[in-house]
Amino acid sequence: MRNRILLTILFLLPGILTAQTQSGDPFDELVKEKKEIFGSEKFEKYPVRMFFVDVEQWPGHKSWHAFWFLRRTDYPKFKQFRIFPFYNSIEAKSGKADLNYLFPIFSYRRVETNGMEEKTFLSPIYYRNIVQPVDGGEGTKEFTNFYWLGYNSSSSGPGFEKSFHMFPGFFPLLIHKTDSIHGVGSSFTMFLPLLYWNRDSSTESATTFTLFHWGHDLEKKFFSFFHTRC
């Protein structure tokens, strides 16, 4: 799953930055509250109607737009301010969702659902995603960071902890991975320029170079020349 996230960032970054919402997400549902009004109803709810400027005002609903690209909305479920196509800010009045982006500088979104909170920050040089229980409560937590000099992710929850680090962020020259499940830990390290691999666990410790291979486990020790182990 984390590898998919990394590949998405590398190859789809420009498209991600320009996207405002995704189908079925909470921001899409909020914006659907605003509907086009016609006929006499529009005459009553829009005290100002001009070619370049509209003002909407009726109980619980306020909005205005100017020159088609500048808009501010205050509805029962959300607030929005938009300067199309460069800036957009949406805030759910329930407090469970926020979206802000300034193209092409950054994009930030926060969503609460089913007791979990997800925060995502994206810019051309940095990506961060956090998934954790609301208000920092107990439960599974996931953190992902990507930048051109490195990539790292971690997750933890009842009975397990995992972490993954890669440098630089765009090519795996150095990788370090650790896992701990119910107190049983393991780790893996790779340094590609030296063709070096190291794996440690409760049953095995093995180190591999291009020409040399040595290590041990609970039953044997070994050393070989011109040998690699899969």
Structure confidence by residue, pLDDT tens digits, 67-115: 889 999 999 999 999 999 999 999 999 888 999 999 999 999 999 988 8
Q: What is the pLDDT of residue 230?
A: 43
Domain residue limits at 229: 156-230
Does residue 165 form part of some domain? Answer: yes
- Across the range 133-157, mean pLDDT stands at 89
Which tokens in the block code for residue 47? Answer: 């005290």
Is 189 among the domain residues?
yes
Whole-number Å distance between alpha carbons of 69 and 85: 7
Would residue 216 count as lying in a domain?
yes
Into how many domains does the chain fold?
1
Instruction: Please indicate, yes or no, if residue 222 is contained in any of the structural domains.
Output: yes
pLDDT at site 150: 92
Burial class, 81, CB count within 10 angstroms (exposed 0-12 / middle 13-18 / buried 19+): middle
198 part of a folded domain = yes
Q: What is the pTM of this model?
A: 0.73
Rounded Cα distance between 130 and 181, Å, is: 21
In a domain, 194, yes or no: yes
Query: Does any domain span residue 112?
Result: no
5 within some domain: no
Question: How far apart are alpha carbons 106 and 158 in whole angstroms?
Answer: 34
Examine the pLDDT at 41 and tell me if it is beyond 80. Answer: no
Distance, in Å, from the CA atom of 48 to the CA atom of 66, rounded to the nearest integer, reads 11
